[in-house]
Amino acid sequence: MKLATFLLSAIALLGQDNSAQKFIGTWEARFNGSVFCVLKIPAGDKLAGTMSSIDISIDEEGNLRSAEAGDGEFAILQPRIENGSLLFEWTDNPDEPPLKLELKITGKQEAELRFVAPPEGATIKPFQFKKRD
């Protein structure tokens, strides 16, 4: 019985590690050819990372109208893997509530970042990210 329990626990941990493994790396989002957002997920015992500050403007339909890198990078908060996606919260201003975000792998080196709860009820279409080699 103890061996079976150990094996099941090891298999569950392997599944978690494998699902988190695909997010490890440096991800970049571009607008008009320029990087405006960088998400870094380092390898390690604990799921963690940082995302750069961004300055964006969107149109009525949720498309980016402009996007530029801001100053600094800030820790992602409460990261977890759920249904194959990386869910986390993030803010570059401690006086404001964090944004709830989801990173979903869409291709071999591609992902999209979706605002789970956009700020102020705005509609924001997902940002496309590519993993940097």
User: Maximum Cα–Cα distance for the chain, whole Å?
Assistant: 60
| Rounded CA separation 128/110 (Å) | 7
2-52 confidence digits (pLDDT tens): 443 333 333 344 444 468 999 999 999 999 999 999 999 999 989 999 999
Residue 5 confidence (pLDDT) = 36
Whether 102 has a pLDDT exceeding 70, the answer reads yes
Helical ranges in the chain per DSSP H: 2-21
Q: What is the pTM of this model?
A: 0.82
Residue 18 confidence (pLDDT) = 60
H helix and E strand count, the chain: 1, 9
What ranges do the domains of the chain cover?
Answer: 2-132
Contacts 24+ apart (CB under 8 A), 105-112: 105/22, 105/23, 109/133, 111/23, 111/27
> Average pLDDT in the 81-107 region?
94
Residue 103 confidence (pLDDT) = 98
| Rounded CA separation 12/88 (Å) | 21
Annotation: CATH topology of 2-132: Lipocalin (2.40.128)
